[in-house]
Amino acid sequence: MKVGKRKNKLKIIKIATPILMITCIVTFIICMIQTPKIELIDPELTIPVATSYEEPGYQAYANNQDISDRVKITGQVNTEKIGTYIINYEATYFLFHTKKIRIIEVIDEIPPIIELMGEKEVFVCPNNTYEELGYQAIDNYDKDLTSKVKIKEKKNELHYEVEDSSKNKTVVTRIIHYEDKESPKIELKGSSNITLYLGDKYKEPGYEVTDNCDKNLTSKVTVSGNVNSDKIGTYKITYQVTDSSNNQSTLTRTVVVTNIPQNENGIIYLTFDDGPSSTITGSILDILKQEGVSATFFVINHDDNLNNLIKREYEEGHTVALHSYSHNYANIYQSTSNYFEDLEKIKEKVRSITGETSNIIRFPGGSSNTISKRYNIGIMSELTKEVVNRGYHYFDWNISSGDAGEVHSSEEVYQNVITGLSRHKKNVVLMHDFEKNYYTLNALRDIIKYGKENGYTFAKITPNTSMVTHRVAN
């Protein structure tokens, strides 16, 4: 019995020893394997919104071995949206598992931009209120913040304030000066350079004042200076006005009184018959003004809403002369009395607009017309004598533009006029100012240009101009 028990014990030891040894070896090996480690560069990161996110880098180790390539990364960063983002880094080594996180804050630190419309320093008339000129607030992240702008008034400053959703604040300032630093503007009617011949009467063409703050300053203008048109010389008329903030303006008009020209050769007298017209008179006046040229308008009866054109002709220094009220040959050339009745009517109409009585006339059809024979034989011989007896100066022409129906282009008008010009005579050019006479309108500037470039001067007909007349044919 005793021997059998001992034998059994030995058997157990024989089996147990290798198991124990293997267990010990396995435990030792397991104990030697280390848990992996992950190291992150910049584990906490802040980046501006709308920039790009780039992995800052990491390393993983286990048992002195680089196992970075075994790291699994999950998570995303939306750099277009403000917020906190987490990126997970995981590494497994045998049975061991390690995890690390990176925290990324996407933030906005850029303040909104406020743009002011108008000046940043504004002058407002005293006693007036400032009217907002407008503004706009734009943010890199929140976009349009205009409606969130708050305006605070402090003394003479306006503070425009706005904050974006990240509490970035912007303040811009507009300075308001309640003072008037602008001088009134005086505008002269008529030319600022007037030429009068000895004996011509000077009549103030008028002026108008505009001001940023004050109204009705025109009546406060002081006009000083005199023109003695009986004495050759250069005269200055001075216009002065002061607004309620003491801003002053002064303007001068020069009036030259000269001798009646003895030699009128080389002078071009541009004359326009049958106006005014709503379609071309204004443009004719614009061209004459730009070119600094005076002309003569032989006017007829017209709608009262065109009176302002007659007024402009007069105020801009041209001669407003008389043509006819009715321009009706059958009536006016019937008798002397018919003629003068018609002439008186247009004379009165012009006088009521310009305030001046004209004694410069042109017969409808010219003094050489033969159409009057149909109504009264010899009437032109009578009339040409009678108008002079009554103190009128009548003017025919020696150059015809052909614009009363003969031409078909502005080029023809131009050619007709320039081929008729001569520096050895006075040139009285017949043109027409009736509705839609665009041929003449479009040729006018070139005619003036030609005249200026070829040694001619331009003048208007005055009572001192010697008459240019045709041979009477009836």
Q: Which DSSP helix (H) or strand (E) runs through 4?
A: helix 2-32
Q: Virtual CA dihedral for 311, 316, 322, 325, nearest 10 degrees?
A: -30
Nearest approach in angstroms of CB 231 to Zn ion is 38
Q: How far is CA 375 from CA 371, 384, 474, in A?
A: 8, 16, 11
433 touching Zn ion, by CB under 5 A? no
Nearest approach in angstroms of CB 406 to Zn ion is 14
Residue number with CB closer to Zn ion (214 or 274): 274
Provide the 10 A C-beta neighbour count for residue 91: 23
274 touching Zn ion, by CB under 5 A? yes
Provide the 10 A C-beta neighbour count for residue 310: 22
200 touching Zn ion, by CB under 5 A? no
List the one residue out of 54, 167, 45, 169 whose CA is nearest residue 106.
45
Nearest approach in angstroms of CB 366 to Zn ion is 9
H/E/C letters for each residue in 204-223?
CCCEEEECCCCCCCHHHCEE
Nearest approach in angstroms of CB 274 to Zn ion is 4
Q: Which stretch binds Zn ion (CB under 5 A): 34-42, 214-222, 270-278, 441-449?
A: 270-278
Q: Which DSSP helix (H) or strand (E) runs through 135?
A: strand 135-139
Question: How far, in Å, CA of 83 to CA of 62, rounded?
Answer: 34
Residue number with CB closer to Zn ion (76 or 370): 370
Question: How far, in Å, CA of 358 to CA of 405, rounded?
Answer: 28
Which 326-365 residues touch Zn ion, going by CB under 5 A? 364
Which 362-381 residues touch Zn ion, going by CB under 5 A? 364
Contact 37, 61 (CB under 8 A): yes
Q: Which stretch binds Zn ion (CB under 5 A): 206-214, 267-275, 352-360, 438-446?
A: 267-275
Count, residues near Zn ion per rule CB under 5 A: 3
List the one residue out of 298, 265, 300 whose CA is nearest residue 395.
298
The site map against Zn ion for 280-319 (x = CB under 5 A) is: ----------------------------------------
Nearest approach in angstroms of CB 275 to Zn ion is 10
Cβ-based neighbours of 472, under 8 Å, separated by 6 or more: 367, 368, 380, 381, 384
Q: Which DSSP helix (H) or strand (E) runs through 453?
A: helix 438-453
Tokens of 255: 């009036």
Strands (DSSP E) found in 231-364: 233-242, 248-258, 267-275, 296-300, 319-324, 360-361
Question: How far, in Å, CA of 339 to CA of 332, rounded?
Answer: 4
Rule CB under 5 A: choose which of 163, 164, 211, 273 binds Zn ion. Answer: 273
Question: How far, in Å, CA of 396 to CA of 470, rounded?
Answer: 6
Question: How far, in Å, CA of 433 to CA of 320, rounded?
Answer: 13
Q: What angle do CA 300, 461, 370 make, to 5 degrees?
A: 55
Residue number with CB closer to Zn ion (202 or 329): 329
Site of interaction with Zn ion (CB under 5 A): 273-274, 364
